[in-house]
Amino acid sequence: MNRHASRIVLSLVLIFGATLVASAQQQGRISERVTDPGDTIVYQAQVQVINLDTHAAIPQKTDTTGSYWVESLPAGRYQVTVQAEGFEAYKSADITLAAGQELIQDVQLRKSGKKD
């Protein structure tokens, strides 16, 4: 490959790499810890992070610490829903996530009044 072609290839690689880094920095993250009224973790709660602009929903489950996280979210408006057996369903207010923002929240589910 001649010198001119090598410079072009190198330039394209650098531009592509810089674009990937800039794009990754523009992504946000939402994470929460889900507990009951006694501050006990709620394991395997069903979570959905919904992009209100595109209506795309990302399903998650809480882990053994009662936590979940969703990364690589574009800036926009979101809503989080949480459901777990024995608890009332939770729906967040609209959340505005800025580019590069990490939003950390705690959700406390209320016990359901239903008798099984």
Render pLDDT for 51-79 as a digit per residue (tens, 0 to 9).
Answer: 999 999 999 999 999 999 999 999 999 99
- In the prediction, which pLDDT does 66 show? 96
Amino acid identity of residue 113, one-letter, is: G
For 4-8, 42-46, 72-76, 98-102, which range has the lowest pLDDT when averaged over its residues? 4-8
- State the total domains in the chain: 1
Is 115 a member of any domain? no
- In the prediction, which pLDDT does 20 show? 44
The range of the structural domain enclosing residue 35 comes to: 3-108
Q: What is the pTM of this model?
A: 0.75
Is 89 a member of any domain? yes
In 26-88, which residue ranges form alpha helices assigned H by DSSP? none
Neighbour-count burial for 67-81, b at 16+ CB within 10 Å, e otherwise: ebebeebeebebebe
Is 114 a member of any domain? no
